Amino acid sequence: MRIRLTRIATLVSIMITVITRCNGQHDYKDALTKSIVFLECQRSGKLPPNNRVPWRGDSGLEDGQLAGVSFSLVILYIYLFFFSLLIILTKLFSWVICNQLRLIKKMQVDLVGGYYDAGDNVKYGLPMAFTVTTLAWGAIFYESQLQELGELENVRAAVKWGTDYFLKAASRHNRLYVQVGDPIQDHQCWVRPENMKTGRTVLMIDEQHPGSEIAAETAAAMAASSILFRHLFKFAGQFKGTFDGECPFYCSYSGFNDEMQWAATWLYAANRNQTYLKYIQEESIDANVGEFNWDLKYAATQILLTQLFFEGEPSLEEYKKMADSYICAVIPGSPYAQAHFTPGGLLYMRDGANLQYATAASFAFSVYGDLLAKYNQQVHCGEKQFNPQDLLAFAKQQMDYILGSNPQGRSYMVGFGNNPPTQPHHRGASVPVLPQDTVVSCARSFIDWFTKNAPNPNELTGAIVGGPDRNDYFEDRRHIGNYEEPCTYVNSLAVGPLARLAAGH
């Protein structure tokens, strides 16, 4: 009986998939709107009056107060201050301590704002900058579609929320604040950001502690947002080195050369300054790759440089071949294909938030496909050629899988389509709204909310979760992070292709 029921369930799933694929279309406009709303769910800081997420409130309003000083040192100074008062020591000693506290105050910086990257309450600079860069790129390339759909101003607001934060984080020369929050402490308490009491320690990069990946990515974010931040790029190149302070959560395994080239490309695209073109031609390091993600940006850079070549920069012709190489490594049917796919057709790179690779590929294929169509070009994979429609069809197929055209017949976007996830791995969504002064027991928080097998009390509208495994299997359980955790950059990469599809292109 159990085998028979399993077979029936499988047949029903296949029928749902076939019907969905035959009908052909999802409500792309609804998916686009909700994808942008998810980014608003991730905002940190003082929320604006037009906040569209009723269960979110102000959070992280003291972020930056621990910049430049350790928490233990603050406690020591406070202890000494009150100790001096207690034993009625000399006024001079009290003056010294007060002076030290004033010095601590001076070292503080305003780091209120920005985005939480995923389901926790830490603000990581590298993925946040990548989110803003790719969101801005989508808004630039698909501006007319977003305008037509009434979402351009919402996307601009999402970009500005990030760039406003970066202006604060880079307010001091050759210093960039790149992380707020202690991930170790944060992961020991399942609590909404509005009620968190965990340490908001700050990490930064400077001349003695370089972080070229983050500095360059932030420069790219600002350039892509049409705010030129030349000194960050110069800083990234002058003091080269990999920043590992965000490890093991966001380790840059690809090194910083791709971010340097990525940033130089955006800076050149923003103002056509020959300094950046010279860097691209003479100093940057190239690579042929088979994927695009927050850590590996060569493919996206090559597509952007190909656009500049098409627009009249002949010295960039070689990047057309490199961009083609990326397509050839991914697209099914290519003699050079390296990518792996689930039985249902989803691009599968690795366990853990795999849908980020699907939205990244969809974005890259959409942009490149439209560029090729505009300039009457094709992709050459040995003796086989792919036309723009082939690339655009692949991009659509990946987005359709996410939205419900898959063997499980379910959507992987919260609040959208058929049988979407109800238990995304996300603190703010899974914990009920509590009074701001509520003291949460971290020990009980995991029992009360994390492991509870029930839908989240707050809908994390628009979040694209981690997605199914390599066999198209998915389980809607909050504690399985690989399946359930959303990330800002998964959605930022989805905005472009969704805008294109929603506009009927």
Amino acid at 276: Y
Q: How far apart are CA 305 and CA 298, in angstroms?
A: 10
- DSSP 8-state secondary structure symbol assigned to residue 136: H
- DSSP 8-state secondary structure symbol assigned to residue 63: T
Q: How far apart are CA 293 and CA 465, in angstroms?
A: 16
Q: How far apart are CA 466 and CA 308, in angstroms?
A: 34
For residues 378 and 386, the answer to whether their CB atoms sit within 8 Å is: yes
Q: What is the residue-wise DSSP string for 256-307? A: SHHHHHHHHHHHHHHH--HHHHHHHHHT------S---SS--HHHHHHHHHH
Residue 505 annotated in active site: no
Q: How far apart are CA 322 and CA 303, in angstroms?
A: 8
- DSSP 8-state secondary structure symbol assigned to residue 413: B
To the nearest 5 percent, what fractions of the chain are helix, strand and coil?
Answer: 50, 5, 45
CA-derived radius of gyration, the chain: 24
Catalytic choice (425, 426, 479, 505): 425
Q: Which residues are catalytic?
A: 425
